[in-house]
C-alpha cells in the first residue's frame, strides 16, 4: 500500500533503525522493491527520482511507481530523490508522492533555505514530508565513478538550516559518495555524532551501496533513519542480464528475459533491508538509547 508518511520515518529514528530507500528506473525495479518489502515484511521507500525521469519520463515512471506501491501488501512510500526544480517537485506532489528531496546544495546557503522552505510549505500542505541537503554528495547517482568525497556537512550550518526551513529529514555528507568507489570509503562518525546531537530529526545517508554492514549499523546508531541504495541494485540487474546473455533461455519471451533480472534486484534489496534491521543496527552503539 502507498503509505509511508513522516510517522514511519520518525518511528524508525526513535527506535534506532533505518528504512531502506531504493532507486528504480522501470517496472521491474518497482516490482522488485515491492517484492523485497513484502518478503521481508518491512516498510520501504521507493525512489523514482529526477535523474531516472530522464530515462523513463516523469509521468510514466511516477505512475508505475505509485501503482506498484498501491498494489503492494507492504507499506511502500514513493519518494522524489535529488529534485532541484520547484516545478518538478510540485508536479510529483500533485501526482501523490509521499515524500520529496529538495537538493539545493549547489545554491548559496540563503538561496537553499528559501527554496527548501517553499518546498516544505507545499509538501506539508499535500501531506508529504521533505528531505533537505546542504553539502552535496560526491559521485553520480546513476553510474559508478571513482569520485572521492569532497564537502562535508557542517554541524552548525545544519542546525541553522533545519531551524530556518522546517525540513523533516536531512541528508548528510560524512565521506559517503554516490556509486561504489574503487577506494575504501571512510565515514566521519565523529561528525555524524555531533550532527545527531544538534538535530532532533532523522538523518539520511546517500551512497550506501558498497558500504560494509558494520558501517551502516554505526550510521544508523548515530541517527541515520533513511539509507539510499541504487548502485547495488543496478549491479544485480547487470549481472542477471549478462548471465542470461551468455546462456539464453530456450525461448524469447519477455518474462524469460526480464524475470531473472527482477528477482536479482529483489534479492539485493532484501539483503540491504536485513542489514538495516540487524541487532547491531538497532541501537547497540546508540548511547542515547532508542527513545532519545
| DSSP, residue by residue, 161-213 | HHHHH--SEEEE-SS-BSS--SS-----HHHHHHHHHH--S-EEE---TT--H
Instruction: State in Å, rounded, how far the first CA of the chain is from the last one.
Output: 30
Question: Distance between CA 172 and CA 193 in Å, rounded?
Answer: 11
Nearest partner of 21 among 85, 84, 81, judged by Cα: 81
Per the annotation, the verdict on 81 as an active-site residue is yes
Produce one character per residue of 35-68: b if its CB has 16 or more CB atoms within 10 Å, e if not. bbbeebebbbbbbbbbbbbeebebeebbebbbeb
Q: Which of 71, 81, 146, 154 is catalytic?
A: 81
Catalytic residues: 81
Amino acid at each position: 500500500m502507498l503509505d509511508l508518511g513522516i510517522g514511519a520515518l520518525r518511528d524508525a529514528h526513535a527506535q534506532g533503525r533505518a528504512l531502506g530507500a531504493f532507486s528504480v528506473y522501470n517496472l521491474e525495479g518497482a516490482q522488485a522493491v515491492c517484492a523485497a518489502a513484502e518478503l521481508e515484511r518491512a516498510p520501504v521507500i521507493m525512489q523514482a527520482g529526477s535523474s531516472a525521469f530522464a530515462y523513463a519520463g516523469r509521468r510514466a515512471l511516477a505512475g508505475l511507481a505509485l501503482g506498484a506501491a498501491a498494489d503492494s501488501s507492504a507499506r511502500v512510500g514513493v519518494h522524489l530523490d535529488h529534485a532541484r526544480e520547484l516545478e518538478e517537485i510540485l508536479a510529483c506532489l500533485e501526482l501523490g508522492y509521499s515524500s520529496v528531496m529538495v537538493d539545493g546544495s549547489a545554491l548559496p546557503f540563503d538561496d537553499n533555505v528559501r527554496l527548501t522552505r517553499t518546498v516544505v510549505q507545499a509538501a506539508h500542505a499535500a501531506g508529504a514530508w521533505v528531505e533537505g541537503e546542504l553539502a552535496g554528495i560526491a559521485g553520480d547517482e546513476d553510474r559508478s565513478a571513482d569520485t572521492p568525497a569532497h564537502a562535508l556537512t557542517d554541524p552548525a550550518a545544519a542546525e541553522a538550516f533545519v531551524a530556518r526551513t522546517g525540513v523533516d529529514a536531512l541528508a548528510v555528507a560524512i565521506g559517503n559518495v554516490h556509486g561504489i568507489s574503487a577506494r575504501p570509503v571512510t565515514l566521519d562518525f565523529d561528525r555524524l555524532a555531533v550532527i545527531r546531537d544538534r538535530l532532533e530529526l532523522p538523518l539520511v545517508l546517500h551512497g550506501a551501496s558498497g558500504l560494509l554492514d558494520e558501517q551502516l549499523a554505526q550510521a544508523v546508531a548515530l541517527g541515520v533513519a533513511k539509507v539510499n541504495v541504487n548502485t547495488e541494485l543496478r549491479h544485480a540487474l547487470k549481472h542477471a542480464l549478462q548471465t542470461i546473455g551468455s546462456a539464453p533461455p530456450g525461448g524469447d519471451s519477455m518474462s524469460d528475459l526480464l524475470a531473472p533480472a527482477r528477482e536479482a534486484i529483489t534479492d539485493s534489496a532484501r539483503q540491504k533491508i536485513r542489514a538495516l534491521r540487524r541487532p547491531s543496527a538497532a541501537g547497540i552503539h546508540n548511547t542515547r538509547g532508542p527513545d532519545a
